Each structure stands twice: as C-alpha cells, then as structure tokens.
Amino acid sequence: MTSFLSDTLSNPRFQLLLTAVLSGATVASLILGYQALEREERLEELKSSIPQLADNSHEANKLNDFGAASDAAANKEDARNQALAKRAQAGDFDEELILEQLARNRVFLTPEGLARLRESFVVVVGCGGVGSHCVAALARSGVSNIRLIDFDQVTLSSLNRHAVATLADVGTSKVHCLQRRLIAIAPWVKFDLQQEKFEAAVADRILGPWENGRRPDFIVDAIDNIETKVELLKYCYDNKLPVISAMGAGCKSDPTRIVVGDIGASRDDGLSRATRRRLKLLGITSGIPVVYSTEQSGEGKAELLPLPEEEFQKGSVGDLGVMPNFRVRILPVLGTMPAVFGLTAANHVILSITGYPLDYAPAKGREKMYEGIMTYVAGSEDRLARSLGLDTVGLKTPLTMGDVAFLSEELYHGRSIISGISTKIVLIRWRRPEGPSMYVIGEGKDVQKCSTVRLRDLVCMTKEEATRHEKEIFKAGKSLEELYDQETIERVETKLASAAKYEQFR
C-alpha cells in the first residue's frame, strides 16, 4: 500500500494532474471571492443612495388642488387665480369690470338677456373635445353657475381637440383642468365638479339643483357613448329638463354641414342614428334638439379604424375598452370639428336661456303617418283573430308610436321591403301565427284582450302589397315561398332578426 502511494505520488502525470486541480481551485476561489466582494460593494452603494426620512431635500412633491404634480412657477399662478376666484365668487369683484368683459354680449343679448344668462345654471356632461369648447364658450359668455360631469382624464392624444388643456394637464381630470384654466378667464364663474361617470342610477343626484335650489336651466350632452347618452336624454325628457345633445364629430371634416335640428330629423349621422333608434324604442320620437352633421362618408374619407387581428386572437376585445360598453376602436377626429360642435351647442344654450329669437327647424310631421300605420296594424290583427274564430271585441295591440316610428323609419327606411316603394306604407305580420294571435286576461267587464304581435313579426309594405299578403298568406293559407322569391324572403328575415335584437331595448 505504501509502495503504491509512493509510486503514484512520484508519477509525473499524477503530479501534473494534481497541480492543475489545485490551480483551478485557487482561481475559482479568487473569482468567487471577488464577485462576493463586488456584490457587497454594490449593495452598500444602493443602501447609501436611499434618502433618510429626516432628509427634507428628498421629500416627494405634493399634488396641487387640481390633481397635478406641483410646480413652483405654476403654483404661484394657480394660487393667484384661485385667490381671485374665491374673492370674485364671494362678491368681492368690481361689477363694472365684469360688465366691461361681457360688454359685447350685453349689447347683443340686451341687459335683461345677459342678466338671465348670468343667473343661469348649466350642466355639461362630457368634458372632452366637444364639451370643453362648449364650457369655455359658456363661461366666457356670462353663465355663472356651471356643473361639469366627466370621469375621464386628459390624455396626450386629446390635446388636438381640447379647448384649454396643455401638456401640463395630461393625466389630470378633465373637470379640474377646465376649472383651473377658466377661473383665470372668468373668476366669478362657480364650478361644481363631478368627477364620475353619468348613469341613470346617479342622475337624480348629479343633475339635481344648484346650492340655491335652482334646477338646471339647460343640460348639454357631450357624451360619445351610446348607452350613457340614451340614459341621459331619457332622463331629461322624462323630467322635462331642457337639453341639447351633440352627435358624432368623429370622421367629419365639413363645418358647413353642421346643423341644429330635432332628433327625429337627424338622418346622416351614425351616432345620431343609433341614439335615435334606442330613443324611439323608449317612446321618444322627437322633442330633443341635437347638433349633428349631414356630411356623408365616402371614398378617401376617414372612418372607424379596425382592430388589429392579433387583438382578436388574444381574447375578448371588449376588455380593451376604458370601461364596459365603451368603444374599443379608434375613431379619427379632426381637431377643428369638435370645437364647431361644442360652440354650436353653447350658442343654442345661450340663445335659448336669454330668449333671443331662434329659428329652430321643427321635426318632420310624421305623427299622422304613424297613427295611420298603428290603425292599420290594429285592423289587420282584428281581421286575423276573427279569421281564427276569436272574439275580437276590445282587442288591443301592444305597439307604441315609438315602435311604429322605429320599424317604419329606422329599420325599413320608409320603404316597402317588397318593392322599395315609399308611399302608402303600412306594417303587417310576415307569418301567419302558429298559435292564437291574441291572449285574454280576466273576464266579464274586466276582460283584457291583447294581440301577440311583436316587433320581430312585422314587415313594411305598401297598402296594396299588405292587402295581397293578408289575402294569400292569412286567408288562403299559402306559404311564403309560394308568394315571394328566395331573395325577398332572405331580405325580410334579416330585417326581422334586427328587430328582434332591438326589442331588448324597449
């Protein structure tokens, strides 16, 4: 054993291998030691870079009253403006100076008109491109009590169309941004800021009276979300609150096509069309003034941008919206157009409050046509029930004027689905009902008879076509295929599917 160890240790190859192993271990130890020392030094540097709590030189900047990071120069200006506004709103501001600033409006609107404007209370819902220009015009013109409602913040991409926002306002709330800038122009104007999303559930509170108990003299709808827009307009309509609604400024470029008209007359605007459909299903066919554009889309013009295919592959594209039911695709907006919409709305509010003569285009007189169509539907349902052997005395149809307006105007565009003719149009069932065409509730003098007809059952035809349809389908029992070609049947089925979809909004 001893000789084996002696021979091994004296072997040159073993000695070379042992030397290499020891050298490698030494080098590895040096490297690891150096790395450990280096880590220790970096850790010490990192610890020393953290300021001590007692070191006042590293205090975080506090947010100012408008929700933005403080800046010494800006804060001095804001402080002066706030101090002046506080005095002015408390009555400590020379009335002569206010009247001088409003002198041109005073001459135009008369002193009495300007006085009404200064006493008024206006609510603006939505403070983006349209709303901000409207608010700025109202404040400059003399409205002294303004409530701003918007949940959103100023973004960099919105600076192309916002009335007063600057780079310094990016990230701050839109309502605070407007107040911050406008008190520097009209310090006597009182702002009530509501940084929240309008919903029907909070309407009574955020559309409620001013601090002196005064109800809103006017409400401006500058919302670009259909669901919220319809809720606001329905609330104002039901509660008899004066309102003007701004329709879509996106994808528009011709300021000469912007008009003020009744909601029932706005035909060429996408947002207006969708809003009008929902309102008609709620029974509102007219009576709401809107600012809209008659400009038509066309080749080479801007349009709603599609979402990239990879976004669809990731999952639900609805998750991309800032809030549920909000648009997820980008709508191109020329910065000048929201300003024209907003100023037009403000102009309408000012003239309405002051009583200045206003040539307002009336809604189209379609009520008589709707009444005639409702009468025809009632008669058709009565004849159908009698042909089935039912007692139709006192039979009613569950349709409203809004339903008729929606079907005839919005769904069928005032034309027969069969021939495209636009005169003497009526509504009639498309299919002969498989079961009873009416149901009965109660008995005796308390009996109620109601047709089972729904929006999804009715199609638009001329009176002559409807008479033929009733005779062949309801009385003779022919099939639709015997009377119409396949293209017509498919066209009708598409319309009926759309009607079924919109029934959920009734």
The Cα–Cα gap between 29 and 277 comes to: 80
pLDDT confidence of residue 275:
86
CA dist 356 to 109, 127, 143, 350, 359, Å? 7, 26, 15, 8, 10
* Strand-pair partners of 428: 459
For residues 449 and 300, give the distance between their C-alpha atoms in angstroms, rounded to a whole number.
Answer: 55
One of 3.40.50.720, 3.30.70.1150, 3.40.1390.10, 3.40.50.150 is the CATH number of 72-354, namely: 3.40.50.720
399 CA to centre of own chain:
28
Contact 232, 126 (CB under 8 A): no
pLDDT of residue 318: 42
Q: How far apart are CA 131 and CA 338, in angstroms?
A: 8
Task: Please list, in sequence order, all residues whose beta carbon lies within 8 angstroms of the beta carbon of residue 160, skipping any fewer than 6 positions away.
Answer: 333, 335
Question: Whole-angstrom Cα distance, residue 183 to residue 168?
Answer: 17
Predicted confidence at residue 137, as pLDDT, reads 97
CA 140 to chain centre: 26
> Quick one: pLDDT at residue 197?
92
Q: Where along the chain do its domains lie?
A: 72-354, 367-505
d(CA 363, CA 289): 9
φ, ψ of residue 147 in degrees (nearest 5):
-105, 130
The tokens describing 476, both together, are 């003779």
Residue 447 contacts residue 392 (beta carbons within 8 Å): no
- What pLDDT, on the 0 to 100 scale, is given for residue 53? 53
The tens place of each residue's pLDDT in the chain, 506 residues long, gives: 566 666 666 677 767 777 777 777 787 787 887 788 888 887 777 777 666 655 555 555 555 555 555 544 557 888 888 899 899 988 888 999 999 999 999 999 999 999 999 999 999 999 999 999 999 999 999 999 999 999 999 999 889 999 999 999 999 999 999 999 999 999 999 999 999 999 999 999 999 999 889 999 999 999 988 899 999 999 999 999 999 999 888 888 888 888 898 887 766 566 777 888 888 888 888 889 999 887 766 567 777 655 454 543 444 434 334 444 444 446 788 889 999 999 999 999 999 999 998 875 454 556 788 889 999 999 999 999 888 888 888 889 988 887 888 888 878 988 999 999 989 999 999 999 888 888 888 888 888 989 999 999 999 999 999 999 999 999 998 999 999 999 999 999 999 998 888 777 66
Q: What is the pLDDT of residue 104?
A: 95
In the three-class reduction of DSSP (H, G, I as helix; E, B as strand; rest coil), residue 1 is classed as: coil
Three-state DSSP class for residue 460: strand
List residues bridging with 461 in a β-sheet. Answer: 426
